[in-house]
Amino acid sequence: MIRGMLATRSYFRRLGPRAVSAMVLVAAAAPLLPARAEENAKHCGPTFVDIDPTTGDLLILCGKSGTIRRLGSDDGSMKSEAVLGESPFAFDRHPDGARLYVTCRRGQEIRELDAVSLQTLRTFPLRGDPTGVAASADGRRLYVAVHSLDEVAVFDLETGSEIKRLATGNGPEMVRRSPQQQLVYVTNLLPNPVPLDQPPANEITVIDDISANVVERIILENANVGRWIAFSPDGSLAVVAINRPKNLIPMVQVARGWVMTSGFAVMAPGSGHAPVQLLVDLPNQAYADPYGTVFTPDGSKFYLSCAGSDVVMAIDVSAVRRVMEEVEKGRLPRPADDLGLSRRYVVARIPVGANPQALAISLDGRWLYAANRLDDSISVIDTGKDTVVRTLVMGTPAPPDKLSRGERLFHSAARTFHGQFSCTSCHPDEGLDGLQYDLEPDGIGQNLVDNRTMRAIGDTAPFKWRGTNPDITTQCGERTAKWIVRTGWLSTSQVVELASFIRSIAPVVNPFRSPDGAFTDAQLRGKALFERTAANDGKPLPERAQCHFCHSGSVYTDHQAFDVGSRSPTDESGDYDTAHLTNIFESAPYLHDGRAATLEEIWTKYNPEDRHGVSSDWTKQQLNDLVEYLKNL
Amino acid sequence: MRTNIVQLKAVLFLTISLHTAYAAPPFYDHWQSFGIADGLPSEKVFCIRATEDSVWAGTDRGLARYTAGRWKTYTTADGLAHRVVLSIAEDPETKDLWIGTAGGLSRFSAGRFDTFTQLNSGLSNDFVHAVTVLRGEVWVGTMAGLSRYNIAQHRWTLYDETNTPMHEIWCYSVTSSQKKVYVAVWGGGLLEYDIAQDRWKNYRDPDGEMEIDLFRDDGLLSDVVAGVAFDSADRVWVASYFGLSVYDGRRWRTFMDHDSPLASNFINFVTTHVDVAWMATDNGLSASDRENWWTYRRDPDTRAGLVTWTPANGPAERFTTETIFPHNYLLGVSFQGDDIWVATEKGVARGTRGHTRSAGTD
């Protein structure tokens, strides 16, 4: 075997660095595991739903099959379907009504569609995981959230060219133009950077639609995972679906029912008043993963999907306004921590299908459509009675296989104490939430750990920062029940299904990686530094001081634990699992407790004794080159 | 006295009108000063930048913003990288502000500060003398070379003595035209970067003498370059501590205080506005289109303005204004509409013009 490895190495040497890098990258960029791709092909996975204002038809983006479907709103019959790029996520309609703009996350593009035929008219490539999209009121520009790069790209719709990038919050998600205002609102999935001992602060980025520049940044304290934003028809209210994680307290508090709460932020744009955060939870029952939201045409109610609880909430707007007034007058000092308050404004909790995310409401306001992403169905809700009157099945879905069942488990809060959270609450979009947690098994207040992504971790065992779980099944087994969800957990077969799904989660497409796999000069220099065996002065480096010795193999880990000098006073040990480096660009902050805000800080601030590689002899240029190389992995 | 001044202004107005063929620099005849009493956090103002709706002053105690008649101060508590603000640039496309400080580079975007330092980013050095933004790229002049940041791609490129003809690495000023980036390197002359060609060119003092100029107009006056600006004719104006040099792409012209109306050889800052260069010196303010000159100074005894108009083909004329900037040590100049703003050792001042048209406006 060793001989074979040596032979392989010499083969790579003959090819030269650029060719080798191209091969590695092509392999790394393989979009989905075959089993996952095969399973996705069987399903629609509705991620977005809207109503055609002309015909009243349902227009549905199918995230899994990569298509857009036009369904009759009465019987769900499919009238037409068109193939899009991979993972269509959201669309907006041009003000002229003739065109739709669809973002395709893994497809790395925006499709301009004919709104009637759904055929593609133009395609705008956009690297960086495009998510939300909105056309400007005058129809001349398009705003597209570039999730991986924390930006909004502004396109000129006449030329199809990108005009500029605007800095958003962390992980921009949805983009919506407000009615009666010349503003465009961008929600953000992840918190803005804050010190480790501070609660998260989630941003809503506001763009002036005239100048196409950011004019305001609304901060939601203690909030995270901003999803959809909706506006009342008169524009006087805006609602954003949010999580409220309490990551600064030990997870033991899960058993007291309030580590992860869920709700929405409501604000009166232009009023000058701060947003008010309100929960949809009850004292003994939580409703996890708020996602989609939409107002009725008369503005009397809005609906909020709780994807992790398979529920859609009906919320009375007048009651919310009364609560907002009380908050403004100081009569409700901590509404966001009041688990009983939702009784005043939640008028119905409507069970729907699996993992409801997107919502849309009929033109006359009579029907609400909830897209159940994980059972390929649309729940039709009578808004007068707030009950499901029928379910539109998307074609003839295949029965869920192991991966699909595992995916449902991952996205369901049914097996956590009071239904507080699902796996995706802390791992939104199967990635990470950018927060640090105090998991209890090693003592309260000890061993704070940074959240880790669930993407592309199949080959990165062992798990946990300490590397104490040998495989995903162990990681997601009984210890999860005991230390995290704190209630009856999954059966053995369900754990296997969940682990299978987690192993199938693909990495996002890396925007720092060249489409043709070629390295830039800086990346090549960084690669050389990563693989160097001697210091700048020519002295040989011990193996453990060479980056590629520990960060080795296809996912850049040797699966061992080492002490790289990052132990803090509250850590009981300094030995931590060698982190894999696949798509390391998206997993800030860094080190086991998230103390390094950027890749640079790993070495400029937290490697004073050269224990995390020998970095003290690096020039600034070398550090920059290394970071360029790492971001590309 | 007031009558005399008004009469002088009337004469001056007529004089300027006769010289309009030279696109003469405008005459700022009224000045309003701002200090701590007016809301500035400090009167040591290192830089000033006027934008469409605000004026930003970089002080040794934070960043001050003047809007709607009031000053507001941003400090490190708000997220500013360091209290000492040395340079300010506005992204013409996004209107974000990029702020060079003595402790890193900050981006101010709709109320949020993002900070880039040599420890948390690719920035080469935390002492940021200069910053400019061109087509989505931020050019940052630091105490240890030039850093270039591609905003959309989050990518840094460093320039220093290893990959440019940068003889010293103290980059005091950076400015950019659509095609070129100019870097004033203290002790290293002027660097010109052709963006399309990815090519550097270095202009240095031909005689190599710091304090004397052996042959007039033979090139850059001194390698101790503190500022650089360009005008719409692609003329490059280079400020040094030993005089002013102007390069039109073919030949150099040099100006010193003994052979031109330049207020002082010690020039802290240069900028251009409507093809007129404005030089902030240690002894007043000069403006020139290379032929005609204005020079403004504060009379330390009377606190009045001493203004000299030197046309290309006529005798110099001297007159007095009732108001002027608060100190003759100037560090920055910027323009907002018809107004000029200057940063001085003792606060900020705004100059306005047109008061000669009506004796009652003063």
Other Cβ atoms closer than 10 A to B354: 14
Q: Is residue A517 located within the same domain as residue A627?
A: yes
Of B114, B120, B160, the CB nearest to A601: B120
Angle between helix A620-632 and helix A521-530 axes, rounded to 10 deg: 100
What is the DSSP secondary-structure string of A243-292?
EEE-TTSBGGGGGGT-SEEEEEEEE-TTS-PPPEEEE--BTTB----EEE
Give the integer Cα–Cα distance in Å for B46 and B59.
Answer: 6
Angle between helix A2-15 and helix A17-28 axes, rounded to 10 deg: 110
CA dihedral A521, A525, A530, A533 (to 10 degrees): 150
Q: Which residue has the higher pLDDT, A103 or A476?
A: A103
| Complete domains list, chain B, with CATH | 42-291+336-347 (2.130.10.10)
Distance from CA of A221 to the nearest CA of B (A): 15
Please tell me the predicted confidence (pLDDT) of residue B24.
58
A451 belongs to a structural domain: yes
Give the integer Cα–Cα distance in Å for A267 and A248.
Answer: 26
Q: Is residue A487 located within the same domain as residue A456?
A: yes
pLDDT(B98) > 90 = yes
Q: Is residue A416 located within the same domain as residue A467?
A: yes
Beta-bridge partner residues of B134: B137
Q: Is residue A566 located within the same domain as residue A623?
A: yes
A173 belongs to a structural domain: no
B interface test, pick of A161, A188, A512, A620 with most B CB neighbours within 10 Å: A620
Q: Is residue A616 located within the same domain as residue A575?
A: yes
Distance from CA of B173 to the nearest CA of A (A): 21
Q: What percent of chain A has pLDDT over 70?
A: 93
Residues 6+ apart with CB under 8 A from A331: none
Please tell me the predicted confidence (pLDDT) of residue A101.
98
A interface test, pick of B51, B94, B98, B161 with most A CB neighbours within 10 Å: B94
> Between chains, do B109 and A167 touch, taking CB under 8 Å as contact?
yes
Residues of B in contact with A512 (CB under 8 A): 153-154
Give the integer Cα–Cα distance in Å for A185 and A418.
Answer: 33
Residues of A in contact with B79 (CB under 8 A): none
- Buried-exposed string A253-290: b where 16+ CB fall within 10 A, e elsewhere: bbeebbbbbbbbbbbbbeeeeebbbbbbbbeeebbbbb
For residues B257 and B249, the answer to whether their CB atoms sit within 8 Å is: no
* pLDDT, mean of residues B47-74: 97
What is the DSSP secondary-structure string of B294-308?
EEEEE-TTT--EEEE
> Between chains, do A624 and B114 touch, taking CB under 8 Å as contact?
no
For residues A288 and A413, the answer to whether their CB atoms sit within 8 Å is: yes
Beta-bridge partner residues of A562: A576
Residues of B in contact with A167 (CB under 8 A): 94, 96, 107, 109, 114, 151
For chain A, the domain total comes to: 2
Residue B95: closest C-alpha in chain A: A213
A502, A521, A545 - which closes a domain? A502
Angle between helix A34-41 and helix A402-410 axes, rounded to 10 deg: 90
CA-wise closest residue to A536 among A528, A624, B124:
A528
Q: Is residue A525 located within the same domain as residue A613?
A: yes
B interface test, pick of A205, A216, A600, A602 with most B CB neighbours within 10 Å: A600
Distance from CA of B310 to the nearest CA of A (A): 42
> Between chains, do A165 and B156 touch, taking CB under 8 Å as contact?
no
Dihedral sign of CA atoms A444, A445, A446, A450 in order: positive
A400 belongs to a structural domain: no
Dihedral sign of CA atoms B209, B213, B217, B220 in order: positive
Please tell me the predicted confidence (pLDDT) of residue A31.
56
> Between chains, do A164 and B94 touch, taking CB under 8 Å as contact?
yes
**Listed range (A34-43, B106-115, B140-149, B325-334) with the worst mean pLDDT:** A34-43
Dihedral sign of CA atoms A421, A424, A428, A432 in order: positive
Give the integer Cα–Cα distance in Å for B30 and B324.
Answer: 7
Give the integer Cα–Cα distance in Å for A209 and A362.
Answer: 27
Q: Is residue A516 located within the same domain as residue A626?
A: yes
> Between chains, do A215 and B144 touch, taking CB under 8 Å as contact?
no
> Between chains, do B119 and A206 touch, taking CB under 8 Å as contact?
no
A429 belongs to a structural domain: yes
Q: Is residue A516 located within the same domain as residue A623?
A: yes
Give the integer Cα–Cα distance in Å for B280 and A352.
Answer: 70
- What value does the mean pLDDT of chain B take? 91
Largest CA distance in chain B: 62
Locate all alpha helices (DSSP H) within A413-546, ordered by sequence.
423-426, 472-475, 478-480, 492-504, 521-530
- Residue A14 binned pLDDT confidence (cut-offs 50, 70, 90): very low
For residues A430 and A505, the answer to whether their CB atoms sit within 8 Å is: yes
| pLDDT tens, residue by residue, B121-150 | 999 999 999 999 999 999 999 999 999 999
A116 belongs to a structural domain: no
Percentage helix, strand, coil for chain B under 3-state DSSP, each rounded to 5: 10, 50, 45
Token pair for B356? 């000669």
* pLDDT, mean of residues A463-485: 86
pLDDT(A9) > 70 = no
CA-wise closest residue to A429 among A443, A414, A411:
A411
Token pair for A261? 């709460």
> Between chains, do B96 and A597 touch, taking CB under 8 Å as contact?
no
Please tell me the predicted confidence (pLDDT) of residue B13.
46
Q: Which residue has the higher pLDDT, A198 or A347?
A: A347
A229 belongs to a structural domain: no
pLDDT(A24) > 50 = no
A480, A502, A524 - which closes a domain? A502
- Residue B358 binned pLDDT confidence (cut-offs 50, 70, 90): very low
Provide the ipTM: 0.89
pLDDT(B60) > 60 = yes
Of A149, A205, A600, the CB nearest to B120: A600
A483, A502, A521 - which closes a domain? A502
> Between chains, do A213 and B118 touch, taking CB under 8 Å as contact?
no
Residues 6+ apart with CB under 8 A from A486: A254, A255, A416, A417
> Between chains, do A624 and B144 touch, taking CB under 8 Å as contact?
no
Please tell me the predicted confidence (pLDDT) of residue B353.
87
Task: List the Cα angle A74/A77/A81 in 5-degree steps.
Answer: 125
Q: Is residue A514 located within the same domain as residue A628?
A: yes
Residue A146: closest C-alpha in chain B: B152
For residues B38 and B353, the answer to whether their CB atoms sit within 8 Å is: no
Going along A178-237, which residue ranges are E strands?
A: 183-190, 201-208, 213-221, 229-231
Residues of A in contact with B96 (CB under 8 A): 167, 213-214
For residues A186 and A177, the answer to whether their CB atoms sit within 8 Å is: no
Amino acid at B213: D
Token pair for B76? 């490190």
Q: Is residue A546 located within the same domain as residue A610?
A: yes
Q: Is residue A530 located within the same domain as residue A574?
A: yes
Residues of A in contact with B121 (CB under 8 A): 598, 600
For residues A104 and A86, the answer to whether their CB atoms sit within 8 Å is: yes
> Between chains, do A597 and B136 touch, taking CB under 8 Å as contact?
no
A84 belongs to a structural domain: no
B interface test, pick of A198, A211, A213 with most B CB neighbours within 10 Å: A213
| pLDDT tens, residue by residue, A272-306 | 899 999 999 999 999 999 999 999 999 999 999 99
- Residue A10 binned pLDDT confidence (cut-offs 50, 70, 90): very low
Residue corresponding to tokens 């739709």: A100
B interface test, pick of A141, A144, A164 with most B CB neighbours within 10 Å: A164
Distance from CA of A167 to the nearest CA of B (A): 8
Dihedral sign of CA atoms B15, B19, B23, B25 in order: negative
pLDDT(A30) > 70 = no
- What value does the mean pLDDT of chain A take? 91
Q: Is residue A562 located within the same domain as residue A597?
A: yes
Residues 6+ apart with CB under 8 A from B140: B98, B100, B105, B123, B124, B128, B130, B131, B146, B147, B148, B149, B174
Residue A435 domain boundaries: 405-502
Cα-flanking dihedrals φ and ψ of residue A506, to 5°? -90, 155
Give the integer Cα–Cα distance in Å for A90 and A227.
Answer: 12
Residues 6+ apart with CB under 8 A from B172: B129, B130, B141, B184, B185, B186, B225, B226, B227
- Residue A20 binned pLDDT confidence (cut-offs 50, 70, 90): very low
Using a 10 angstrom Cβ sphere, with 0-12 exposed, 13-18 middle and 19 or more buried, the burial of residue B286 is buried
A450 belongs to a structural domain: yes
CA-wise closest residue to B86 among B64, B108, B65, B101:
B101
Distance from CA of B110 to the nearest CA of A (A): 5
Residues of A in contact with B118 (CB under 8 A): 604, 620
Distance from CA of B355 to the nearest CA of A (A): 34
Cα end-to-end span (Å), chain B: 13
- Buried-exposed string B318-340: b where 16+ CB fall within 10 A, e elsewhere: ebbbbbbbbbbbbbbbbbbeebb
The CATH number given to whatever domain includes residue A543 is 1.10.760.10
